[in-house]
Amino acid sequence: MYTEDIIRRVRDSVDIYDVVSGYVSLKKAGKNWLGLCPFHSEKTPSFNVNPGKQIFHCFGCGVGGDAFKFLELQEGLNFPEAVKHLAGRAGITLPESRPRADEKKSDDERKALLKITAEAADYFRSELEGPAGSAARAYLAKRGLTESIIRDFALGFARPEWDGLLKHLRQKGHAPALLEKAGLIVKRSEGEGHYDRFRGRIIFPIRDISGQVIAFGGRVMDDSLPKYLNSPETPLYSKSNVLYCLDQAKEPARKQGYFIIVEGYLDAIACHQYGAKNAVATLGTALTDGHLRLMRRFAQKLMLIFDPDPAGVKATLRGFELFAGSGMKVNVVSLPDGDDPDTFLKNKGYDAFAACLRGSAKFMDFVLAQVVKDGAAASIDEKVEREAEMLGFITRLPSGIEQDHYLKKTAEALNVDEVTLRQDLAKQRTAHTGPRERTGEKIAERKGHRPKAEEMLVHLMLRDENIARELSGQLTAQDFTDPLLQRAVKRIFDQLERSASLDLRLMQVEGDEELNRILTHYSVRELDWENESNSSEKEESKNKSIRDCVTLIKQHDPERQIKDIIKAIREADEKGDREESQRLLELQRDLSKRPGRSIPGHGPGRSWS
């Protein structure tokens, strides 16, 4: 990793406007530049770039950050890669992070393996194009693949012989040991030597997120078995962290806001050929957390094309645990008559497919439909079983509102009393108590507006460091009642303590998207009076706002406020300031007499007499 110093030097030497304007057309709007957000689809621009703070924020979808973050999102880079990219742009030489000997070795090996897989892909492709590939070409044409799609996906062919690839790559100077490591050849079980893994198959190169070939899948052209054969796990390829077509699907998915998940190579390719370019396929494995992490960089929603046979249903249901904790929205798509995407698209076309996507069910509705199927007519024993299974799902839903919704639906579907169901759920909950218990409250908190005064102060502090510094002497994070704003204030104050200025990137917390969004949101958003031309008026309305907000926030805790006043009275008395002491006494009396008063954003007033 690079030091903070280097990172700052790199960032200071590029202008975020230059970086972003390479991707987004920007127009000046006040102090910001404004454009159409590249991360969600919109018709009215809400994507802001603030050159003063060198950050961007979209008021439509909430993403924001600095130039590094922009590149991470736009190019799918990780942070060190983004630093490297911008350093290159600014002509800054990064210090060689001296890798340990074994790291260096594995890095060299990786490069060698990538060279081998790239050359193997070229070989398979030329075999498909050459005389040996005529039957394979005919097969692909019969399956409806166009020549341009065959080229886009770099499909290839492996002859039905034992050492075509082995000979070819050995001629190029690659050692058998490395070819074996790349998963391309297999050691003979008896005697010396190796033979080709892929023989007599159509070859589908598997590429990583940046488009480099890392592995292969092979499919037979007749009914022989196995129908599909994939590369084994290699230093380049781990099937639980790779999705077929992700390199091509990531941008379309970002634009459309979701990925389509299918099962096989040909399904994924058909989706792309017919216009559903946001489709990816898993490679002979169920979706994993690694897959979700890859996709979450580009879209928050998934459409699973569901395989209606019993094994497919089970596999889909097993995804529940994974999805429930992921924060992603997941829908399940059923194609009529158990069609797979490949045959469906060929027979009915893209519009019919898109209609199925629109008709998709939320994952939990799918679960409900599968678990309680014709439940109202079921025997009492079956009902008990299905109820237990449903409650198992419901209790793990992260939101209280959702739990409530599906309790009702389950009661309806099983034709049982909702109250009984709730009691049973409560029993299950006490059986496994966990942090989930409180999430219902959290949702309720989020539903209401954030306290205005708190919001205003966070906004002011993020727009103006001087205000933040001033307020850090008057308030603490605990003065803020909204949990999110409290986190933000804590980050702001911590940052001020550690360094002279507010650095947005250092304030952001990896993984706390909610916090990161609010930080960029208020850093970029202009304050009402910032556009007022008269500067003394501006100053006056700003100061008044700050005073009002601080007063209001202090009032959140009447007891503390009164304590503060009593302390101030004592201090005034000690100094012999009779006048001040009198004023404070009156204030205290006034406060204690006042009936409950309403505090913005806090609903009904509280009485503090």
Kindly list the residues in this chain that would bind Zn ion in the complex (CB under 5 A). Answer: 37, 39-40, 58, 60-61
What is the rounded distance in angstroms from the CA atom of residue 427 to the CA atom of residue 496? 48
- Taking the least distance from each CB to Zn ion, the nearer of 61 and 118 is 61
- Taking the least distance from each CB to Zn ion, the nearer of 9 and 301 is 301
Residue 37 CB, nearest distance to Zn ion (Å)? 3
- Taking the least distance from each CB to Zn ion, the nearer of 207 and 250 is 250
- Taking the least distance from each CB to Zn ion, the nearer of 197 and 254 is 254
Residue 278 CB, nearest distance to Zn ion (Å)? 17
**H, E, C per residue of 349-414:** HHHHHHHHHHCCEEHHHHHHHHHHCCHHHCCHHHHHHHHHHHHHHHCCCCCHHHHHHHHHHHHHHH
* Contact predicate 135/159, CB 8 Å: no
What is the rounded distance in angstroms from the CA atom of residue 325 to the CA atom of residue 398? 8
- Taking the least distance from each CB to Zn ion, the nearer of 63 and 496 is 63
- Helix runs in 13-131, H state only: 16-21, 67-75, 79-90, 101-129
Residue 82 CB, nearest distance to Zn ion (Å)? 19
- Taking the least distance from each CB to Zn ion, the nearer of 58 and 565 is 58
- Taking the least distance from each CB to Zn ion, the nearer of 37 and 158 is 37
As given in the structure block, the two tokens for residue 251 are 């941008």
Contacts 24+ apart (CB under 8 A), 464-471: 465/496, 465/501, 465/502, 467/546, 468/492, 468/493, 468/496, 468/502, 469/496, 471/546, 471/550
- Taking the least distance from each CB to Zn ion, the nearer of 164 and 252 is 252
Residue 34 CB, nearest distance to Zn ion (Å)? 12
Residue 257 CB, nearest distance to Zn ion (Å)? 10
Q: Calculate the alpha carbon distances from 248 to 83, 436, 491, 570 in Å.
A: 24, 38, 38, 71
Strand partners for 33? 28, 49
- Taking the least distance from each CB to Zn ion, the nearer of 58 and 279 is 58
Closest CA to 245 of 339, 149, 326: 149
- Taking the least distance from each CB to Zn ion, the nearer of 109 and 526 is 526
Residue 215 CB, nearest distance to Zn ion (Å)? 34
- Taking the least distance from each CB to Zn ion, the nearer of 48 and 117 is 48
- Work out the number of other CB atoms within 10 angstroms of the CB of residue 21: 14
Q: What single string gives the DSSP state of each residue in 462-483?
A: HH-HHHHHHHHTT--GGG--SH
Which residue do the tokens 């393996």 mark? 113
What is the rounded distance in angstroms from the CA atom of residue 103 to the CA atom of residue 126? 35
What is the rounded distance in angstroms from the CA atom of residue 435 to the CA atom of residue 470? 37
Burial 340-364 (b: 16+ CB within 10 A, else e): bbbbbbeebeeeebeebeeebeebb
- Taking the least distance from each CB to Zn ion, the nearer of 300 and 428 is 300
- Taking the least distance from each CB to Zn ion, the nearer of 22 and 284 is 22
Q: Calculate the alpha carbon distances from 486 to 11, 321, 478, 535, 559 in Å.
A: 28, 31, 7, 31, 20
Residue 42 CB, nearest distance to Zn ion (Å)? 7
Q: Calculate the alpha carbon distances from 290 to 210, 242, 293, 513, 568 in Å.
A: 16, 8, 5, 19, 57
Residue 48 CB, nearest distance to Zn ion (Å)? 10
Contacts 24+ apart (CB under 8 A), 145-148: 145/269, 145/273, 146/273
Residue 208 CB, nearest distance to Zn ion (Å)? 26
- Taking the least distance from each CB to Zn ion, the nearer of 63 and 303 is 63
Q: Calculate the alpha carbon distances from 270 to 262, 278, 309, 528 in Å.
A: 10, 12, 21, 52
Residue 426 CB, nearest distance to Zn ion (Å)? 41
What is the rounded distance in angstroms from the CA atom of residue 72 to the CA atom of residue 60? 19
Residue 46 CB, nearest distance to Zn ion (Å)? 6
Burial 80-101 (b: 16+ CB within 10 A, else e): eebbbbbbebeebeeeeeeeee
Residue 326 CB, nearest distance to Zn ion (Å)? 21
| Sheet of 201-207, strands arranged across | 156-158, 201-207, 213-219, 228-230
As given in the structure block, the two tokens for residue 217 are 């899948």
Which residue do the tokens 């054969």 mark? 229
- Taking the least distance from each CB to Zn ion, the nearer of 27 and 142 is 27
What CA dihedral angle connects 153, 215, 109 and 98, to 10 degrees?
A: 70
